[in-house]
Structure 1
Amino acid sequence: MKRAALAVTLLVLSAGLGLPATARGQTVEDGSGARIGPADTRAVLDLVGRNLNSPEARVTELRRAEGGAICGSVDVRNRQGLYGGPRGFVADLAGASFGRVPDGPELLSPARGEDREAMERVRQLYFRLCLD
């Protein structure tokens, strides 16, 4: 049941954002991919590439969570080309879904096409599954 809820929440978020589905050159910066294995690391990087518009995303702190989720942090460049700082994410590899924790301004004023409720669900999911 938890796995199904995780997949649905992340799928709704990903679909609601209308994000591009192109592969990118993401990297795991801290070696934490060894904790989840090479196949799952590649799957996480593929999800990051499909869901974030950043050719140079930096992924760190990969770890397994309950319900089969993978938690981690990702740092992407903003419109000015600067890294904005790492933000948490939760991914469900079985459901091929991904959700990055929104920041405060995103929740207060979602961009056109973004679903505030879906962003809040990802935030709550990350806090429940990924924070120790």
Structure 2
Amino acid sequence: MLRSTLLTAALSACALCLASWSIETDRSTEHTHGLFEIREEARRFISQENAKGHQQWDVLEPNLKILVPRCAVPLETQWTPKSLGRSKVSVMVICTVAVPNSVMRRWDVDVPVERKPN
């Protein structure tokens, strides 16, 4: 309870810092995996898919509220399975082994995509 109160106070006090924050500056650290690198992995996947020539896609930004531990192995990518109930097409960036932490052993982040305009 105290931790969440402190976090809320810190975030409120740093509104200017948050306003200047962007996915371009959200890089991986020793403990967290940056959304910039996650988006770049989705871009590599989509680049390969676009090269197949079936449909052309643009990668959008992942949810900026996501915070995940650093991945200890190379990231994997795939189309997000429709069975997960997503209403829009997205790419799933997967970490099968996170660095040791008390929160999660593995994670996946959905990165939305949209068809390129013709």
TM-score, normalised by the number of residues in structure 2: 0.29
Larger Rg: 2
TM-score, normalised by the number of residues in structure 1: 0.27
